[in-house]
Amino acid sequence: MESVPSNKTKDNKTNTDQATNTPVASEHMDSVRYEQLLNESPTTYDLFKKGHDINPDAPALSFFLQGTAYKENETFSYAEMLTEIHQVGNFMDTLGLEDDAVVAMLLPNLPECYSVIIGVQTRHIIMPINPLLEPEVISELLATAKARVLVTLAPFPNTEIWSKAKYIAQHVQSLAHVVSINMADHVLGKKSLPAKVLQKRQDIIENDVTALLFGSKAGLPNHINWHNWKTAIAKQPGDRLTFENNKSKRRNSLDYSSFFCTGGTTGRPKIAKRIHKNEVSNVLQVRAALGDDLVGNGKNLLCGLPLFHTNAVMVTGMLPFSLGSHVVLATPQGYRGEGVVANFWGIIEQYQINFFSGVPTLFSSLLNIPIKTQDVSSLQYCLSGAAPMPIEVFNQFETQTGMSILEAYGLTEANCGSSVNPREGERKIGSIGQSFPHQEMIVAILEEDGLFRPAKVGEVGNVIIRGDNVFAGYYIDSQNKDIWLYDTVEDKQKADNNQLNPAKRWVNSGDLGYQDSDGFFFLTGRKKELIIRGGHNIDPKLIEEPVYKFGDIEICAAIGKPDVYAGEIPILYVQPKTGASIDKKALEAYCQDHIGERAAIPKEIHIIDEIPLTPVGKVFKPALKRLANVEAVATLLNEHNIAADVTTQEDATYGFITCVKVTDPNQLETAKHLAGQFAIALDIR
């Protein structure tokens, strides 16, 4: 018998003494040094300036447009990037907006993204948006945050972003300015001129022939001020921030820096408010955990995660920039760009990459791309986060490549990262590691009125976090209900009266887990019911709420079904009203048209007689998860002609585990290998 609980092992559980916050060994940065650096860099701009000052002529950022032509790149020095950051900040200042104005960024991964993010933060609040969201959802988010400026992509063949920008401009009343960036500027060599011609043609198609005279302004409402990116920032000084000595304009550590949208439990993404101190402190905490030598000056880091996600912005952005390192940005679509995975090891060799951050689906894909003649000896570590890493994928990747994966954990509400397996010493496969230095992460048993008791070693509870990195709360105040926890009744009372230092409160991650006697954390499930598809959070309500409007549906429930590649895929269970029948194809078409996020459209729809309910009448999703797990495992084994009995059974730690009894003992190892690719708790025998 082999027990393979997803990314966890029960051997570490003793369930005796109280667990404690045991951070990764912090010899890389003690508390005195941490506080010193935190005071020296109150904002993200100051953090970037620190890296710039190490060597202004060093390469800061390289970008290649296509994975099939990864050797063709643009490279920007720290001096060039700082110039553009100054120009962006100065341009934003000339718009005459209120101090806490929100500037939305709706872009694919382009070099300008980093300058937009840091430049906007020198004066206002940046709000990166997922371009794959439907325009109605984006408009709702921007209207909620009262966005004043939208930085987006100019019309370009085979892109939909400008059409979304036009919709947003018509529906977000607070919006006053649209700034467009031309992707044709990044097409190099002989293709440059044809790309510019095609871009102008697309401008006319999407806006009007008057775009020849007025540019993309032709497609926008009259009240919107349109700005061409290159023209707008070229007019601004690049040697300094013109307002740097104006205390009423310069941002400080407690000012809002960014609004990131995060998958929540209320249907639409929630808007998480973060201050500069959250972002700067978390960069320093990562450095304390991993050491400056891993990602510091002279190192090359690959960025392929989307820059609307905090992981890409912080781990492969502000972290290396703070140390004068070199970031290589891979295609507008990141790792999903055509040819990126197929040429991955060539990219590592070409740019002598030392470190990259990815999600489990990337590592799973790379198992199919053998290292041939490429020299990848520069690559030291890979960081995996955003979703559980199947143990089988973990083991196969390290065996096949000889590289070390550091599995980590974090959430937008705690800025980005909160735990990681240590570089030095023991790594525990299946664990999300130990907490970062200079923040606290523990497992808690929740009590009434926002109080808790620390869990014992091995006792499953809620993972909670506090520290300088913890966010300021959600934009909509009602969404902050029940997310904060307090050490004492007195602290809770002070918080109710707005008299408590925010650093003393804990944020409830919503994730369930336990801590072993060495301080390593193991996740056992998610109390919140998010579906994690390829590291991207999907709220089930984003699927369920529109489906209820289809008609003749009594109950519906969306869950995540295990998937070898994506980790989970969204599927939908539907119970018709009594006496009604549902046309499955019509419902599938309806979902295509009415679910506001492409990634959330169910990959499967199951019409069943009765959806399981709790005694109080709520949908009991664990029962549906059991069905989905059994089907996923059984289908995979059947595809490989392995006969097995697949069931589930109750489990005190994980709620339930999926049990596989293989008929032919000679196929047992193959079955373990195949089923082990799922990030679920398994018992295979």
Residue 457, classed as helix, strand or coil, is coil
Q: List residues bridging with 274 in a β-sheet.
A: 258
Edge to edge, the sheet with strand 604-607 lists 553-563, 567-576, 604-607
| Residue 162 to residue 156: CA distance in whole angstroms | 8
Domain ranges of the chain: 2-23+392-526, 31-358, 529-611
For the chain, give me the number of helices (H) and strands (E)? 21, 32
Q: What is the largest CA-CA distance in the chain?
A: 76
Fold of 2-23+392-526: Rossmann fold (3.40.50)
| Residue 32 to residue 112: CA distance in whole angstroms | 35
CATH of domain 529-611: 3.30.300.30
Token reading at 380: 């030291």
> pLDDT, tens digit, for every residue of 556-599?
899 999 999 889 999 999 999 888 899 999 999 999 999 988 88
Q: What is the pLDDT of residue 427?
A: 85
Token reading at 316: 């492969």
> pLDDT, tens digit, for every residue of 174-211?
999 999 999 999 999 999 999 999 988 888 888 878 77
* CA neighbor of 283 nearest in space, from 632, 38, 540, 564: 38
Please tell me if the domain spanning 2-23+392-526 has the same topology as the one spanning 31-358: yes
- Bridge-based pairing state of the strands 355-358 and 381-384: parallel
> Which DSSP string do the residues of 458-495 spell out, in sequence order?
T--EEEEEEETTS--EESSGGGGTTTEE-SSHHHHHHH
| Residue 541 to residue 144: CA distance in whole angstroms | 19
| Residue 514 to residue 416: CA distance in whole angstroms | 20
CATH of domain 31-358: 3.40.50.12780
* CA neighbor of 685 nearest in space, from 649, 644, 653, 652: 644
Which ranges of the chain have pLDDT less than 50? Answer: 1-15, 264-266
Q: What is the pLDDT of residue 10?
A: 38
Token reading at 416: 């980005």
- Bridge-based pairing state of the strands 102-106 and 147-153: parallel
Give the Cβ contact number of residue 415 at 10 Å: 33
What lies within 8 Å, CB to CB, of 84 at 6+ separation is: 76, 112, 115, 119, 233, 238
* CA neighbor of 461 nearest in space, from 415, 525, 408, 417: 525
